[in-house]
Amino acid sequence: MENIIWVAGHKSPDTDTICSALACAYMLEQEGKAAVAVRAGELNKETQYALAKFGAAAPELKTEIPAGQPIMLVDHNESKQAIDGLKEADVVGLVDHHRLGDLETEKPIFMLIEPVGCTATILLALMRQRGIEIPPTIAGLMLSAIISDTLLFRSPTCTERDRQAVEELAAIAGVDYAEYGMEMLRAGADISDLQPADMVQTDKKEFAVSNGTISIAQLSVMDTAPVLAQKEALLRELEADRAAHSYEASFLMVTDILEEGTQLLFAGDAAKVAAAFAAEAADGEVYLPGVMSRKKQVAPPLLGAF
């Protein structure tokens, strides 16, 4: 196993992290390198739906990486979001579409970050440059990633390149991306079996701030009413999670995919939250119309305020 490159996305994996890990491992193998996709956490329902649709096996679960193990990172670069043990591993590459965080490397490695909506969009360009053929299964996974990250082109992070990539990949995968995309998002938005304690963990990411850490989870649904009906329980769970991890503050974005807006629930200093968004933040919630992107619209003002 030692020389096989692990390809891994972030903890609390989402569809981009899982599908881009699989696509990137495929790319490396086509270049003659031994590589295997791994995942640092449980699959969400949306990702399970995408993997089943295109007949792909889930990456193996690996919650910790051995020291010295070569790893290529996709879809993240902050140590808090990475598989445990990363500091002692051998990072050999990175493809990402997030801000540059605290990653440092000992040697120069291949690193490409681009401000597009999805890691898979960047991987498509790399495969084109490198003359790598994309089979239908991989194309299906990559377009699932882009539809997921851009909420079917609704997110402000979506670029023209993401749209074009989906069209190109849909032709290879042989799917109607608009129809399949809504099905996939609906599968991911199914919260029927989620308890409030699960909801506050959905797609949770940690961010370093000057005095510690904040966490931001995101639940994207077709209808926020059934979620917000449990607001008091969600706020209790956010507070419990905040206390358990000594976070400065804990957030849950309840994002309405169809209405294109976010109800942000939080446990933490309401004055800072209000300042971050120049909005009223009372009773542990603030409504953010038009806001769908944690990366572009929620994390930056919160990182500034905390």
Count other Cβ atoms within 10 Å, centred on residue 233.
14
Give the contact letters, 69-98, x = binds to a copy of itself (CB under 8 A), - = no.
---------------------------xxx
Q: Is 104 in the site for a copy of itself (CB under 8 A)?
A: yes
Beta carbon of residue 129, minimum distance to a copy of itself (angstroms, whole number): 7
Spatial distance between the Cα atoms of 144 and 150, rounded to a whole number of angstroms: 10
Beta carbon of residue 48, minimum distance to a copy of itself (angstroms, whole number): 27
Q: Is 131 in the site for a copy of itself (CB under 8 A)?
A: no
Q: Is 211 in the site for a copy of itself (CB under 8 A)?
A: no
Size of interface with a copy of itself, in residues (CB under 8 A): 25
Beta carbon of residue 212, minimum distance to a copy of itself (angstroms, whole number): 17
The dihedral of CA 13, 147, 287, 223: what is its sign? negative
Q: Is 303 in the site for a copy of itself (CB under 8 A)?
A: yes
Q: Which is nearer to a copy of itself, 90 or 259 (CB)?
A: 90
Contact 39, 60 (CB under 8 A): yes
Q: Which two tokens stand for residue 147?
A: 């539809």
Question: Strand (E) positions, the chain?
Answer: 5-8, 35-39, 60-61, 70-74, 90-96, 110-113, 205-209, 212-221, 249-256, 261-267, 285-289
Beta carbon of residue 82, minimum distance to a copy of itself (angstroms, whole number): 14
Q: Select from 219, 166, 28 the least CA-distant residue to 8.
A: 28
Which residue blocks in 151-246 are alpha helix, DSSP H? 160-173, 177-188, 196-199, 225-228, 231-245
Give the contact letters, 108-127, x = binds to a copy of itself (CB under 8 A), - = no.
xxxxxxxx------------
Q: Which two tokens stand for residue 180?
A: 């399949």
Using the rule CB under 8 A, give the single segment among 28-36, 99-107, 218-226, 252-260 that binds a copy of itself: 99-107
Among 52, 60, 105, 223, binds a copy of itself (CB under 8 A): 105
Contact 90, 67 (CB under 8 A): no
Using the rule CB under 8 A, give the single segment among 170-178, 180-188, 234-242, 292-300 that binds a copy of itself: 292-300
Q: Is 212 in the site for a copy of itself (CB under 8 A)?
A: no
Q: Which is nearer to a copy of itself, 99 or 231 (CB)?
A: 99
- For residue 40, give every residue at least 6 positions away whose Cβ sits within 8 Å of its Cβ, in sequence order, or none: 8, 9, 10, 11, 13, 61, 62, 63, 82, 83, 84
Helix and strand numbers, DSSP H then E, in the chain: 11, 11
Q: Is 99 in the site for a copy of itself (CB under 8 A)?
A: yes
Using the rule CB under 8 A, give the single segment among 58-66, 107-115, 188-196, 216-224 that binds a copy of itself: 107-115
Q: Is 164 in the site for a copy of itself (CB under 8 A)?
A: no
Which positions lie near a copy of itself, rule CB under 8 A? 96-115, 129, 295-296, 300, 303
